[in-house]
Structure 1
Amino acid sequence: MNHSFDRRTLLRAGGGVGLAALGLGYGAGAASAAVPTSKRFELSSVDSHDLYRNRALQDGTVQQSFAFDQTNRRLFVAQLRQGSDSKSGDLCITELEWSTWNAIGHMYLTGFGHAVSIGAQAVGTSTYLWTDVDADTSGYGKRLARFKYVNGTTLAASSSAVTKRTPVSTAVRHTCAIDPTHDRLIVRYLPSGSSVHRYAAYDLTAATNGDFTTRLVDFVEPSAIEAANFQGYTAYGQYLYCLSGHSNTDDATLWSVDMNTGGVTERFVTGAGSTLSFREPEGMAVYTTAAGEPRLFFGFASGDTTNQRLSNVFYKNVLV
């Protein structure tokens, strides 16, 4: 397996904020518990590994995010649908084969959102996807949607096959990620009247049943991340991981945040995929391999031609 070496200077930042000062005043179910302690992925002193490089996706547009169904061993990549206005909320979900990472299927979504982050949830041998839905005038979803992935179909946001959820009643935007190893749904939301995002963590089974009354944590997005060009997030155990950066630059940054304090634990500018053309950071996800190894994934879009962009995914696999 190829390696891509991280080559930039590490910046660590502390200053966590106590939960008593976070998560209150945004409706029922504000922070009432804590996420159990866990190890975190080391971002700076270990190599990044290639999962794959330069894989074609169904519509050739820039990948926005991706998610693994680690039970059924499937990978899904979300993109804006080719030919649709970026504010329409129209998406394409491309499924990649587990070992070759080549595209083997797709599904179109109409009127959903921007897919800054998505989640994949195994239900028997089926996969249910979580995305944002009911796009606002900027193309970002107001609520969350949960639906069964069905290859070769087109699903409208108004379809009865879509279950819609509003985890935070006062929020005007929602996205989510799934920690499949610890069965948690992580929600990034924008409170009404605010320009600052927040995060809340829920038990995945409860969330699936529409129960969002208990938030394990609820905290404001750290200001340094909020100020960066946000490109995705995921979570593993106690820690939230974020990705930021621009295309055609070398500012792709990995962040870890202690969800029990809301403080940045580690910030690292990564050189993974440094030789890629275009190289826009896009999307994060986690899974634990069949052999029991947890992995933190982060992605990049590549390719020199609009609507012929390619998908690239790298990962870290050392816990400290």
Structure 2
Amino acid sequence: MTERFDLAAPAVRRLWKKTLHEGTVLQSFAFDEAHKHLYALQLAAGGAESGDLCLNRLDYDGTLLGHMYLKGFGHGVSMGVQNAADGNVWIWTEAAARNGYGQGVTRFRFFDGATRTGDDVAIREPIARSTNNQPSVCMTSKRVAIRYRLDNKPRYRVWDLDAFVARDYADPIADLAQTGLHPDSSVPFQGYALYGDHLYQLAGTAYDTATNPPEKHGNAYLSCLDIRTGKLVQRQRTEAGHSLDHREPEGVAVRHAGTPQLYLGLASGSAGARLFSLYYKPLSA
């Protein structure tokens, strides 16, 4: 599977200034194509240090359908949705927070109003000595990726999803360094998504009058890595949603049904009352 998104294609607005259960920014999101649900992670109010997250379920129009809390899971850097053959929907997130970031990963089912802790999920630590583990799931290729740090250097490892679920971590499909994120290496990582043979990354910061003024339309970049070679194949600045206030890039995800679409998230609004917007780039013919 080699098809990839052209990051230079114009971005299309899909959702505009929608709300989540908490007033914090969107951190990451993923799609359940079977049931037309959008799942979105955000930090619970005051939960950054402890790694407390709020998981939201919305419809594809951005209407909030429910939420649950994940106590001590992490920062919500990335997530995945697995549509299992038996009809179950599994949510993949980081878990076992330390210093606010998950040191392993887990999967669980969504139950509106529920609260989960590390004691009632099975935590996986597939990469020895690694820290800051963050998952992404591609249901088209049936693969799972984990972004992790080894000796404090960010990397990605990719497995067959069925093997990973069976806890067979011995034969990964790929292992590669995170590279090519942004022309300015000091600009922070803001999410990634796996699609087939490619990883899509997002980097950027919120508007700042001194270093990232709104009139310059932001410093957000999307980039693409080929997992077979580990090389950067494309990097593109995006001005999507440049009219938003705050405009902080947050999260990348892929819709797989029909013509695949690569989505990026943007947070806006005032502190304590953040909103989110989604833009996408369609897969080129």
- The two structures have a TM-score, normalised by structure 1, of 0.82
Q: Is the 8 A contact 1:76 1:96 kept in 2?
A: yes
Alignment of 1:216-255 (within 5 A): 216-222=173-179, 224-225=181-182, 227-248=186-207, 249=212, 250-255=218-223
CA drift at 1:101: 1.4
Secondary structure class of the residue paired with 1:158: helix
Matched, 1:300 2:266: yes
Unaligned runs of 5+ in 1: 1-36
Q: Is the 8 A contact 2:176 2:227 kept in 1?
A: yes
Which residue identity lines up with residue 143 of structure 2 in the other structure?
R
CA drift at 1:87: 1.1
Secondary structure class of the residue paired with 1:155: strand
- What CA deviation, in whole Å up to 9, does each residue of 1:240-277 have, x standing for no partner? 10000000131010001111111111111101001111
Q: Is the 8 A contact 2:187 2:205 kept in 1?
A: no
Q: Is the 8 A contact 1:72 1:122 kept in 2?
A: no
Q: Is the 8 A contact 1:300 1:312 kept in 2?
A: yes
Equivalent residue, structure 1, for 2:244: 276
Q: Distance in 2 between matches of 1:203 and 1:221?
A: 20
Matched, 1:179 2:138: yes
Which residue identity lines up with residue 232 of structure 1 in the other structure?
G
Q: Distance in 2 between matches of 1:223 and 1:243?
A: 10
- What CA deviation, in whole Å up to 9, does each residue of 1:46-67 have, x standing for no partner? 2111120100100111110001
Q: Distance in 2 between matches of 1:163 and 1:296?
A: 30
Equivalent residue, structure 1, for 2:215: none
* Change over 3 Å in CA distance of 1:224–1:282 after alignment to 2: closer
CA drift at 1:169: 1.5
Equivalent residue, structure 1, for 2:101: 140
Matched, 1:42 2:6: yes
Equivalent residue, structure 2, for 1:310: 275
Q: Distance in 1 between matches of 2:243 and 2:201?
A: 22
Which residue identity lines up with residue 56 of structure 1 in the other structure?
T
Q: Is the 8 A contact 1:72 1:125 kept in 2?
A: no
Secondary structure class of the residue paired with 2:50: coil
CA drift at 1:210: 1.5
Unaligned runs of 5+ in 2: 213-217
Equivalent residue, structure 2, for 1:14: none
CA drift at 1:125: 4.2
Q: Distance in 1 between matches of 2:157 and 2:47?
A: 30
- The two structures have a TM-score, normalised by structure 2, of 0.92
CA drift at 1:170: 1.9
Equivalent residue, structure 2, for 1:286: 254
Equivalent residue, structure 2, for 1:257: 225
Secondary structure class of the residue paired with 1:165: coil
CA drift at 1:228: 3.3
Equivalent residue, structure 2, for 1:164: 123
Aligned length: 273
Matched, 1:102 2:45: no
Q: Distance in 1 between matches of 2:87 and 2:246?
A: 37
Of residues 89, 95, 99 in structure 1, which corresponds to 2:51? 89
* Change over 3 Å in CA distance of 1:227–1:240 after alignment to 2: farther
- What CA deviation, in whole Å up to 9, does each residue of 1:137-181 have, x standing for no partner? 2x000000111111111111211xx12111102212210111111
Matched, 1:64 2:30: no
